[in-house]
Amino acid sequence: MLCIRGIVLPEREERVFLIDGGVLRAGGPPGGLSGRDVEMVVDGGWLLPGLVDVHTHPGTTDPRVPFDEGMLRRQLTEHRDAGVLAVRTPGTARRMPGWVTDDPELPRVTSAGRWLATPGRFIPGFGRDVSEAELVRAAVEEATASSGWCKVIGDWAADEPALPLPLLTSVVEAVHAAGGKVAVHCQTAEGTRNAVLAGADSLEHGMHLDPALLDRMAARGTAFVPTLSVFAAGMDRMRAREPGVRRDLWLAGWDGMLDNVRAAHEAGVTVLAGTDSFPCGTVAGEMEWLVRAGLPAHAALGAASWTARAWLGLPGLVDGAPADLVAYATDPTEDPAVLNHPSRIVLRGRVVR
């Protein structure tokens, strides 16, 4: 039987757990067990219930490259080896294969099925192309065939119309009636506004988000996944382009994003960490960008760990929870760089590092 001891975040309390059949049991070894029956795998340090990337697309890195199950496994393993023990995939080129859920070596995956794109609003053939008349039915199908989520492309080109608000509202209502949730890709002012007004469960990117909508998002529980690190990586390349409507709108959106992320947190919106980039396993970098945006380190780490887990319906480090945890030598809220150097990773009760 395995035993762990350390300071648990976010509570900042020292706790001792046994790992019994992949489940955490609070307290030390019972009296009937000797030291030879118990292996101490973590003895001190700081314990997190696993990092989380809520916006990642393993399985393909390029629209010209077909979805590849071998790549999917490798990229999910990259997440795991970085201490990312749960991911949400808001849109993939194919529905997530069943073996992903059953594989004890891989992070827990919440899938949103295939991207749902209406004409002119995505890369043709990369997701599931549907007409506007088919969108509501397709959204319910993807949500019920996946982990309960679907992903809708709410806008695409910066100077072209977003998905109409009445249609997006109908999608959200139908998916909610089926017990599912809706993630919306939005990078334009119109697309982001429509996603909020339609009652989407999460805004993916949320560029050009109107701060006047933040109170509405907080009241309805709409999460904000700004994917700052992927925008930051493309900023210099975009600035080097010739001036034009799309370039200028993109840069204007980026220039306001950090302020919007801070304002969203201050308004009580759930801000979460998602990378939308490669290599996989880099959510620690997204946390650093959330700190740059003005989130307190504790909140930014929560966005990449316990807050994201709770949002996905996963427990933290409590009695009876799945034994998923990452240990660090120092407090990651004081030293975020330590997130890149976990001292121990335990997934489903098994030590993987």
Pull the structure tokens for residue 348: 């489903």
Q: What is the pLDDT of residue 62?
A: 84
Q: pTM for this structure?
A: 0.96
* Burial class of 157 by CB neighbour count within 10 A (0 to 12, 13 to 18, 19+): middle
- For tokens 């979460």, the residue is 272
Those residues whose C-beta lies under 8 Å from the C-beta of residue 128, and which sit 6 or more positions away, are 113, 114, 115, 116, 117, 138, 142
N- to C-terminal Cα distance for the chain?
17
Please tell me the distance from the alpha carbon of residue 191 to that of residue 176, in angstroms, as a whole number. Answer: 20
For 71-101, write each residue's pLDDT tens digit.
999 999 999 999 999 999 999 999 999 999 9
Quickly list H helices, 49-133: 69-81, 99-102
For 190-218, write each residue's pLDDT tens digit.
999 999 999 999 999 999 999 999 999 99
Pairing of strands 115-117, 128-129: parallel
For 36-71, write each residue's pLDDT tens digit.
688 999 999 999 999 999 999 999 988 888 899 999
For 246-264, write each residue's pLDDT tens digit.
999 999 999 999 999 999 9
- CB-CB neighbours of 289 under 10 Å: 22
Residue type, 269: V
- For tokens 């000797």, the residue is 34
Q: Which domains does the chain have, with CATH numbers?
A: 2-48+315-351 (2.30.40.10), 51-311 (3.20.20.140)
